[in-house]
Amino acid sequence: MAKESSEQKLIERWWVRGVVALALAGIAYGFASLAIDSGALWQYGLAIGFLVWAFAQAKRSAKALYTRVR
């Protein structure tokens, strides 16, 4: 079995995933704002994609925090 690198260990921390989730939500907000102004469907698609990704990261962060507290 391969040894985990320090980057792999860092992403498993709950607070790092939380920061990533917030950053992705900010990117989604930016694309949604652009999409509203321009009406471009591809920007709506990117906004939805980043929002789904942000929710997934937030869920993983909450799960890691819950297992850590338990």
pLDDT given at position 21? 96
Does any domain span residue 3?
no
Q: What is the pLDDT confidence band of residue 68, given thresholds at 50, 70 and 90? A: confident
pLDDT given at position 1? 56
Question: What whole-number distance in Å separates Cα of residue 12 and Cα of residue 65?
Answer: 10
Q: What is the pLDDT confidence band of residue 13, given thresholds at 50, 70 and 90? A: confident
- Tokens, residue 2: 């391969």
Q: Structurally, how many domains does the chain consist of?
A: 1
- pTM for the full predicted model: 0.81
Does any domain span residue 5?
no
Domain of residue 41: give its range. Answer: 20-69
* Per-residue model confidence as pLDDT tens digits over 30-66: 999 999 999 999 999 999 999 999 999 999 999 988 8
Angstrom distances, CA of residue 6 to CA of 11, 13, 19, 44, 47 = 9, 11, 18, 35, 31
Q: Terminal CA-to-CA distance of the chain, rounded, Å?
A: 27
